[in-house]
Amino acid sequence: MGGSSALKGSVVVITGASSGIGLAAVEAFARRGARLVLAARQEDALAEAARRCKALGAEAIALPTDMTDEAAVEALAQAAVARFGGIDVWINNAAVLLFGALLDAPSSAWKRVVETNLFGYVHGARAALPVFRAQGRGILINNASGWGLVGAPFVSSYVASKFAVIGLSESLRQELSADPDIHVCVVYPPAIDTPIYERAGNFTGHEVGPLPPVSSANDVAEAFVDLAEHPRPRRAIGPSGLFLYIASRLSPALSARLMGSLTRHFSIRTEPCTPTLGNLFTPKGPHAKSGGFDWLGRHRRGRGPIF
């Protein structure tokens, strides 16, 4: 049943709520008694996420939303206000992933990643911030990535979008300096065990996966909860996330070389894979928190990184 934390009764909007980090966040906030507004593209998976909330004793509404559609995102915010009277926390989390060298991946696929991962967050901020200003308070949480701190080969669209999300967050924080009770928080997860790799667009010719060490989606969800209770500008996740955050600032060149080597040898697997657009334009499963990867990045099907 709903918990007795400081978040009980708060209104939390979560995008990308049907799987991975988003679904983990849904459960984490539901356990604390928040009232939830869930957004993702696939209606049936989103409805299942809402059912999980209700099973945990939390009130939730599910609104199928494509974050690339600014009008739809604005309608999401208005629906939250109409149902619950306001928005306390807005979590920009929906994201897609594309693997492939810049010259190998279709331009339309590259653009779609930026439209979802960056403009989806812009749309979310433009929808949430007027509500926050009318209330005089609110917390915007932008889920970035360790790949937003250090570049990596074969994921240029994702890296570019996440670098941009970090810059967007820094700029918004300055624009809101006269509103001390409106907070913009950015999260830097390391590699996380979610289905995003199985659903990614892929033009490398090989299976792909996360870099070890791989963390749980629950770790990121708990960081969201912590920021909702105690907002601060930046939040790394776990020892590996903290290491990457510090290393990227102390030695950008060394961090870039290390990330390049790790991505080539661990994210790009030995097994062949036919080119695919994944879920870039059309949502697809699996809709689960976990992608089935262990701490070393090995998949339950036995597909592992190149050592």
At residue 225, the 3 state secondary structure works out as helix
Confidence at residue 138, expressed as pLDDT on a 0 to 100 scale: 98
pLDDT tens track for 263-279: 999 999 999 999 999 99
Report yes or no: 36 and 51 within 8 Å, Cβ to Cβ.
no
- C-alpha span between 69 and 71 (Å, rounded): 6
Reported pTM? 0.94
Ordered per-residue pLDDT tens for the chain, 307 residues: 344 579 999 999 999 999 999 999 999 999 999 999 999 999 999 999 999 999 999 999 999 999 999 999 999 999 999 999 999 999 999 999 999 999 999 999 999 999 999 999 999 999 999 999 999 999 999 999 999 999 999 999 999 999 999 999 999 999 999 999 999 999 999 999 999 999 999 999 999 999 999 999 999 999 999 999 999 999 999 888 898 889 998 999 999 999 999 999 999 999 999 999 999 999 998 889 999 999 989 886 544 443 2
Residue in the structure block whose two tokens are 């909702």: 228
Average pLDDT, the chain: 94
- Residues assigned a catalytic role: 158
The 3-state secondary structure of 243-289, one letter per residue: HHHHHHHHCHHHHHHHHHHHHHHHHEEEEECCCECCCCCCCCCCCCC
Asked if 90 contacts 123 with a C-beta cutoff of 8 angstroms, the reply is: no
At 83 the three-state DSSP class reads helix
SS3 label, residue 291: coil
From residue 232, alpha-carbon distances to 99, 165, 187, 235 in Å are: 32, 16, 10, 7
Residue pair 23/46 in contact (Cβ under 8 Å)? The answer is: no
Superfamily of domain 11-272: NAD(P)-binding Rossmann-like Domain (3.40.50.720)
